[in-house]
Amino acid sequence: MSHELFRSQAAAQRRAAAQTDLPNRRAMHERSAAIWEQMALSAEDTAERARINARAKSA
């Protein structure tokens, strides 16, 4: 699922942020992690809406 990929990318960005000593690079990785998390949430929401629509159509 795409949301799983997005969450793994967010985790990778958080690890990269934790490993850097440069404040600007850390902030960049943290912003990137937040964006990946938002994309994961959006993908989950889209998948849930698709399931709801499919159930409604089959009823």
Question: How many angstroms separate the first and last alpha carbons of the chain?
Answer: 26
pLDDT, tens digit, 9 for 90 and up, residues 16-42: 999 999 999 999 999 999 999 999 999
Indicate if the pLDDT at residue 1 is higher than 80.
Answer: no
Indicate if the pLDDT at residue 59 is higher than 90.
Answer: no
For 27, the 3-state DSSP assignment is: helix
pLDDT, tens digit, 9 for 90 and up, residues 45-54: 999 999 999 9
The residue range of the domain holding 28 is 2-58
Q: What is the tally of structural domains in the chain?
A: 1
Quick check: 37 and 6 in contact, CB under 8 A? yes
Which residue, 43, 36, 49, 34, is CA-closest to 1?
Answer: 43
Q: Where are the alpha helices (DSSP H) in the chain?
A: 2-19, 23-58
Single pTM value for the model: 0.86
Residues in contact with 39: Cβ distance below 8 Å, sequence separation at least 6, in sequence order: 3, 6
